[in-house]
Amino acid sequence: MIKEDIENNLKTNLDISFIEVINESNMHNVPDGAESHFKITIVSDFFENMRPVQRHQKVYEILKMEMKKIHAIAIHPYTTNEWKDISGEDLKSPDCLGGENAE
Q: What are the tens digits of pLDDT across the range 31-53?
A: 788 888 899 999 999 999 999 99
Which residues, 6 or more positions from 58, have their beta carbon under 8 angstroms from its beta carbon? 14, 46, 47, 50, 77
Task: Assess whether pLDDT exceeds 80 at residue 21.
Answer: yes
Instruction: State pTM to two decimals.
Output: 0.79
Q: What are the tens digits of pLDDT across the range 49-68?
A: 999 999 999 999 999 999 99
CATH number for the domain formed by residue range(s) 2-87: 3.30.300.90
Mean pLDDT of all residues in the chain?
87
pLDDT band at 97 (very low <50, low <70, confident <90, very high): low
Secondary structure, 3-state, the chain: CHHHHHHHHHHHHCCCCEEEEEECHHHCCCCCCCCCEEEEEEECHHHCCCCHHHHHHHHHHHCHHHHCCCCEEEEEEECHHHHHHHHCCCCCCCCCCCHHHCC
